[in-house]
Amino acid sequence: MPAETATLSATDTPEFAPKPDGATAALVLADGTVLWGRGAGAEVTRVGEVCFNTAITGYQEILTDPSYAGQMVTFTFPHIGNVGANLEDVETTTPAACGAILRADITEPSNFRAVSHLDGWLKAHDLPALTGVDTRRLSRRIRDAGAPNAVLSHNAEGVFDLPALWNQAREWPGLEGMDLAKDVSCTQAYQWEETRWVLDSGYGRLGEPKFKVVAIDFGIKRNILRCLATLGCAVTVLPATATAEEVLSHKPDGVFLSNGPGDPAATGVYAVPMIQGVLAADVPVFGICLGHQMLALALGAKTKKMHLGHHGANHPIKDLTTQKVEITSQNHGFVVDKDSLPANVEATHFSLFDGTLAGIRVKDRPIFSVQYHPEASPGPQDSHYLFQRFVDLMAARKG
């Protein structure tokens, strides 16, 4: 059964198109557009912002990225679920994404690492999915009109209260002004010693640590922690609400500001004072994604909501310090305004897609950040040098 759509007028009593035979899930956009299809995963209803991701691999990694809190992911690649799911390719224990929108039905897994079917994995994590959708058409709609608010509802009996779903989508406030880091952050400090995955041997353990790093968890991905541990960093992870005094009490050689979801200005209400306190202590600082945005706010720059954001694993970024281009993984809906950088902060990276700012550094201090995810491997290792750059700054400061 192909998915069907109907665009509704913005009235209180819209005329909804009849549900196609066999439809067991619907995506209802705030503008009244309805996309019908087949349901997969959990039979639940979720509300959030609809974005699209252009990666052709790593769907389990994407769905468990805490930066997707408040969002449902449209996958432009059609064969989602073909390698099943496993216990290793997750970035957090509880997925924060609202759901998945797929072109084709989920197939039986065909990969030696698979331990479960993706449909079963979605059910286990209470995530709904909509299949049979023209994802190219939906992606063009997001590209042209921006990321919409919507409700995704899966009901095996095919029973839907469309007016109620439409009103729920319209009433959801959207990500701008929303602090979601508290929802996905850890609630107490913990230590991290697991290193990066190696074929046939899995994950390793940190041997003799060389550096003490405090990582602030605004929605941190596990592979970021693994990359730090692989380079000899004993990492202490602190909640998003940690104060500068709590951070500095661990006497770190460096401080890492993690990725995360939501509006950086909203999270910055409590995080920016912490970051400014850490900056005053003059320890090396490295930020990624939301951490990059909030570092910029702490330095005096501004952030803004993007039209549709960057979500994918094929984004070319130019490093102005090396003049090299790297293929990067990105997931963000806000960006630092490059025209707002203060005099002592310079741009180091730019997107070759749209020219947006993708990296900064303080000119005379060991402080830098990037907008993208160097722990991911689309290049496959184009951006791993950034972790080494952080380690080199800590080594120079210790020396």
Which amino acid belongs to residue 275? I
Give the tens place of pLDDT for each residue, 146-171: 999 999 999 999 999 999 999 999 99
pLDDT for residue 12: 62
pLDDT for residue 68: 97
Q: What is the mean pLDDT of residues 50-68?
A: 95
Q: For residue 222, what are the contacts with CB-CB under 8 A and spacing of at least 6?
A: 90, 91, 92, 194
pLDDT at 1 over 50: no
Q: Which residues are catalytic?
A: 289, 373, 375
Lowest mean pLDDT across 1-5, 85-89, 247-251? 1-5
CATH (residue range 5-171): 3.50.30.20
Please state, for a pLDDT cut of 90, what percent of the chain lies above it.
90
pLDDT for residue 89: 93
SS3 1: coil
Q: Which residue has the higher pLDDT, 381 or 259?
A: 259
Question: What torsion, rounded to 10 degrees, do the Cα atoms 218, 310, 373, 292 define?
Answer: -50
pLDDT at 125 over 80: yes
pLDDT for residue 318: 97
Cα(183)–Cα(191) distance, rounded to whole angstroms? 20
DSSP H or E segment with residue 358: strand 357-362
Query: For residue 167, which of 369, 30, 300, 285 has the smallest C-alpha distance?
Result: 30
pLDDT for residue 380: 80
Give the tens place of pLDDT for each residue, 338-379: 999 999 999 999 999 999 999 999 999 999 999 999 998 787
CATH T-level topology, domain 181-398: Rossmann fold (3.40.50)
Cα(260)–Cα(264) distance, rounded to whole angstroms? 9
pLDDT for residue 85: 97
Q: What are the residue boundaries of the structural domains of the chain, listed by start? A: 5-171, 181-398
pLDDT for residue 199: 86
Q: Band of the pLDDT at 17, cuts 50, 70, 90?
A: low
Q: Band of the pLDDT at 176, cuts 50, 70, 90?
A: very high
